[in-house]
Amino acid sequence: MVVLLSRLPLQECPKLCHRVVDGVCGREPPRMADYSATWSLEEWLELLNSLSSLFRLAVGNNSCDEEVLAGLSDVGSGYGEAVLSVLRARREEIRQALVERTNFISSAVLQDFDWQLKLALSSDKISSLQTPLLSLTLDVRENGALRPVTMELNREELHTLISSLEAANKVVLQLK
């Protein structure tokens, strides 16, 4: 339902489209609050979905300008032209994002990780411990849901983890 786009003044259109592309590329999508005067919530969601799927399809099918314009024929020509220019400028970025998404085809994917290094000075039994500890948080996306996995490793365990990851990387390199 890209027709809804025509409610927006033409000058605002590229900005919104760029924000939608930002959302496709994994950054912050446009906020409803900025446009609540123009569209209702339902219309907004519909517009957002249709625009992002339009961009995805256009880049994914590698379709030419005419095809995209044909898809946008029911909006005004100026709007179609604006969307097209946004698409041309961001084609490469969208393609990268789609490739990233295709890479994540396995059941569980490591999305992000975070670590903190701590120094345990003493414990309840030993007064001077001086052991470094690493608390590692893995954000694993499993069937679309984000699941944090947190573990605390000492030096040896960390070495084991790193060596096993290196072995995995070697296997991946051999596949190439």
Partner 1 sequence: MEEVDKILIHALRQVGTEVSDDVQSVKQFTSELIVEAVVRCVRVIDPGLGGGLPASLPPGMSARFRVGMSLAQACQDLGYKGEIGYQTFLYSNEPEIRSLLMFLVEKLPRESAEASDQPAGKSVVLQRAISAAIKAQLALPWLPPNCRLPLLCETQSPGPLHAFHTQSLSLAHNVKCPEKKHFKGMPLTARIFDYQRDILPPVTAQASHHASVAASILEQHMAELSATQEWENEWNSQGLLSRLTPQDYRSRKLTRLQKRIEEQLRSAALLCPESAIGANRSNSDLSELLQSFRGTAPTDHLLTKGTHFTHTQKFTFTQETAAAASPMPSGRQSEGDVQVRQQEELATLQQQLQQLCLDVDQLTTDMKQMNVTTAQVWDELKKRELGNSEMEERMRVKKKTIDLLPDGESNLVKLQALVEGSAKRVVNLASQWEKHRAPLIDEHRRLKELCSNQDRESSRKLSEIKDLHVKIREAAEEAKKKEGLYKQLITELENLPQDVSRSAYTLRILEIVGNIKKQKEDITKILSDTKELQKEINSLTGKLDRTFAVTDELVFKDAKKDESVRKSYKYLAALHENCSQLIQTIEDTGTILREIRDLEEQIETENGNKTVANLERILEDYKAIRQENSALAAKVREG
**Cα–Cα distance, 57 to 49 (Å, whole number):** 12
Strands 145-153 and 108-120 turn out to be unpaired
Interface with partner 1 in residues 141-170 (CB under 8 A) = none
121 binds partner 1 (CB under 8 A): yes
21 and 93 Cβ atoms separated by less than 8 Å: yes
Beta bridge partners of 49: none
For partner 1, which stretch binds (CB under 8 A), given 24-32, 38-46, 68-76, 154-162? 24-32
By CB under 8 A, name the one of 6, 8, 12, 14 that touches partner 1: 14
What phi and psi values does residue 164 have, to the nearest 5 degrees?
A: -70, -35
Residue type, 61: N
> Residue 141: left (phi > 0), alpha (psi -120 to 50), or beta?
beta
81 binds partner 1 (CB under 8 A): no
By CB under 8 A, name the one of 44, 46, 91, 161 that touches partner 1: 91
By CB under 8 A, name the one of 139, 140, 141, 157 that touches partner 1: 139
Q: How many helices (H) and strands (E) does the chain have?
A: 5, 3
For partner 1, which stretch binds (CB under 8 A), given 1-9, 37-45, 69-77, 89-97? 89-97
102 binds partner 1 (CB under 8 A): yes
Binding site for partner 1 (CB under 8 A): 14-15, 18, 22, 25-28, 60-62, 85-86, 88-93, 95, 97-100, 102, 112, 114, 119, 121, 130, 137, 139, 173, 176
